[in-house]
Amino acid sequence: MQDRHEAMNAILAQNWWALALRGAMAVLFGILAFVLPGATILSLVLIFAAFSLVDGIFGIIAAIRGARAGVRWGLLLIHGIAGVVIGIAAFVWPGITVFAFVLLIAAWALISGVTMLVSAVKLKTSHGRGWLILGGIASLLYGILLAVSPMVGAIVLAWWLGAYAIVFGITLLVLAFRLKRHAGHRPAGTARSGI
């Protein structure tokens, strides 16, 4: 078992540059998300549109195959058609898709906030009622802010994604350069290999 760990460590150390490249790309994406938040959100919408369209096409194919096999196929067809329609709509009207996505998050935050507040009433004070109330209020405020200004909400979502990508990228870069120090150290019998 120890030999397997040493071999894996050696392989990672030899390929430190691959982790560094991943880290650099993540940092670059994060910076772009901060500088161009609108383009970042639009890219995510277009990826979603492509996914929905492809998923819908496969749903329709599954429905046709189901009909030929004599099994229930109606829901598959409805799902497939809905996916195609939503995918096309997202491609044609990406701005509306972003708007709808942010409003969906706002609705989730509002519902979550209300349920947390209702739950807090039933919770004993000693069990953390105050924290549940605080979380519920925060969720309600977040939902209201998104509902009142959804496009600002979309930009903030892009910034959160950018912040995550930068932190993730930096951790990969730090790991890569720590591994680089061990790149020449290989256990006996370990061949050079890629990740």
Per-residue pLDDT of the chain in tens (195 residues, 90 and over written 9): 667 767 767 776 787 888 889 889 999 999 999 999 988 888 888 888 999 999 999 989 988 988 888 888 888 899 899 999 999 998 999 888 888 888 888 898 899 889 888 888 876 666 677 888 888 898 899 889 888 888 888 888 889 888 989 999 999 899 888 888 877 665 555 445 444
CA dist., res. 38 & res. 46, Å (int) = 12
Query: What local confidence, expressed as pLDDT, does residue 195 receive?
Result: 47
Q: How many CB atoms lie within 10 A of CB 195?
A: 11
Residue type, 59: G
- Could you give phi then psi for residue 19, rounded to 5 degrees? -65, -40
